[in-house]
Amino acid sequence: MAGVAVVVLVVLAATFAFVYRSTGSQLRAQIDRSVRNSALQLKDAIQQRRVPTATAALTRAARYAGTQPFRDSNMLLFVLIPGSGTASNHPELFGYGRPDSRENGVSQRLENGYGLRLTQPQVGYSTKAAADSGAVRLFEVRFRIAGTTAYAGAGEPLETVEHAQEVVRHSFELAGAVGLALALLAAYLLGTRITGPIRRSAEVAARIDAGDLSPRIHLPSGSGNELQVMAEALNHMLDRLAGAFAAQREFVADASHELRTPLTVLRGQLDVLDGGDRDDGSLSPEELERVQRLMQGEIARLSRLVDDLLLLAQSDRDDFLRPVELRLDALVTELWDGLSLTAERNFELGHLEPVVVWADPDRLAQALRNLARNAVAQTQAPDGLVRVDVSRRGADVVRVTVSDDGPGIDPDLRERVFERFYRTDRARARADGGAGLGLAIVRAITEAHHGSVRVTDAPAGGAAFVLDLPLSSGRRPEPGMAATATATRSV
């Protein structure tokens, strides 16, 4: 508001100075023109006809001037003939004519002084003080008449200029006061309108800073498009933040819970070791072996859980993948051959299209291994089906399908199974069930490759997991990168 006040005052002052000065100079130029014209007209009128004497010239001048009385025209006309006298349409100014009975001696003398100065001829323009009228602008011209030198002059009081300038000043004072008040009012209203929503947003930000993620910015309608957009963006961000924090809390709680179970088992087994089952407090070799086996199993479970958690935590990072150019059909064949040694199932290689992809072989193998392990867990030995297919979908996409002849997945749960720590009730009931991270890892790896994964019904009756991967995974190989990745893999 102070800024607006300063701007308004500066603009008004500059405009005032300009108008004030130009009004004065224009009026003065106009007065100069009209006094000059009047003086010349007066001279012409007297010179029109010959006159015998200076006195006759003065009489003629007085008659001419009498036709334009000063009272009506505000134009002083006079003729001076040194040695003979003065004729004027305002004789009082020249110190003669009727004296004002009300004036005292001092002012009378002062007026006489002014009159004396007026009767001194001065050719051209001059400004002189005159009684009653203040300063008078004069123009005098010399001419000859009846054998003598005469001066014709005209004058106009300058008080009209002062008066006009006074009017200008008053107008500006009034306009300035009103303009300033209106500008300040407008600045205040505009300021509160703009800062209101910002203040409200700042209050919300302060509450969020204090740890409360629930408040949202609600702006009154008409707060301006940009502010509405900003508020919506902030609210959206807060929703996402709140969601992310909640998911993180849930994740930490689930992870802690999953870690606690094997730790409890381990502690229990340590107690068994402490107690012993024989009279002398030691363990029988069979019991020792059982405890050892149990503890190793739990430690393996713990390590896998920690590895899985670590992998999920890294999946957002740029260096999560070390992609190389690889033959996907070869990778799948190698993997299925290896898996067939670990479980007694019918590991079937279906249609394998030879295709080269730009992908991380270790991560991809891990995703396919997770799918195969799930299929093994859901099918019966010895000939439960665990099948893999590789086929091209259009020019840019390759599809890997891992299917089985197990119970399949309920359509309602087909999205949920990809959530972290999600297990179906049947899996929860099983003692050897995992933590529920396998499919979350599959999804994380697929998405890191810019692909997608979903589950449908398999032709054999079980579940079919469908991975669609872009052939180049959205990234072009960089010369140095491929070499490093290949080297890492060979290690």
Ligand X SMILES: Nc1ncnc2c1ncn2[C@@H]1O[C@H](COP(=O)(O)OP(=O)(O)OP(=O)(O)O)[C@@H](O)[C@H]1O
Binding site for ligand X (CB under 6 A): 370, 374-375, 378, 404, 406-409, 417, 422-424, 426-427, 433-440, 462-463
Q: Of 97 and 407, which has the nearer Cβ to ligand X?
A: 407
Contact present, 331 and 339 (Cβ < 8 Å): no
Shortest reach from residue 276's CB to ligand X, in Å: 34
For Mg ion, the binding residues (CB under 5 A) are: 374, 434, 438
Q: Of 366 and 378, which has the nearer Cβ to ligand X?
A: 378
**Residue 386 interacting partner from ligand X, Mg ion, none (CB closer than 5 to 8 Å by kind):** none
Tell which residue, 380, 379, 398, has the closest CA to residue 390: 398
Residue of minimal Cβ distance to Mg ion: 438
List the Cα angle 279/285/286 in 5-degree steps.
105
The pair of three-digit structure tokens given for residue 267, joined into one six-digit string: 């502690």
Read off the amino acid at residue 400. Answer: V
Shortest reach from residue 308's CB to ligand X, in Å: 6
Q: Of 361 and 438, which has the nearer Cβ to ligand X?
A: 438
Q: Of 156 and 308, which has the nearer Cβ to ligand X?
A: 308
Q: Of 322 and 369, which has the nearer Cβ to Mg ion?
A: 369
Shortest reach from residue 334's CB to Mg ion, in Å: 21
Phi-psi region of 97 (alpha: psi -120 to 50; beta: other; left: phi over 0): left
Tell which residue, 241, 373, 246, 252, has the closest CA to residue 313: 252
Shortest reach from residue 305's CB to ligand X, in Å: 8
**Residue 115 interacting partner from ligand X, Mg ion, none (CB closer than 5 to 8 Å by kind):** none
Shortest reach from residue 463's CB to ligand X, in Å: 4
- Residues 160 and 32: their CA atoms lie apart, in Å, by 13
Contacts of 99 (CB under 8 A, 6+ apart): 108
- Residues 150 and 255: their CA atoms lie apart, in Å, by 122
Q: Of 180 and 427, which has the nearer Cβ to Mg ion?
A: 427
Query: 3-class DSSP state for residue 323?
Result: coil
**Residue 378 interacting partner from ligand X, Mg ion, none (CB closer than 5 to 8 Å by kind):** ligand X
Contact present, 182 and 34 (Cβ < 8 Å): no
Shortest reach from residue 408's CB to ligand X, in Å: 6
Shortest reach from residue 375's CB to ligand X, in Å: 5
In this structure, the chain runs to a length of 491
**Residue 463 interacting partner from ligand X, Mg ion, none (CB closer than 5 to 8 Å by kind):** ligand X
Q: Of 133 and 378, which has the nearer Cβ to Mg ion?
A: 378
**Residue 437 interacting partner from Mg ion, ligand X, none (CB closer than 5 to 8 Å by kind):** ligand X
Q: Of 308 and 360, which has the nearer Cβ to ligand X?
A: 308
Tell which residue, 234, 216, 232, has the closest CA to residue 224: 232
Strand pairing category for 346-352 and 385-393: parallel
Contacts of 192 (CB under 8 A, 6+ apart): none
Shortest reach from residue 438's CB to ligand X, in Å: 2
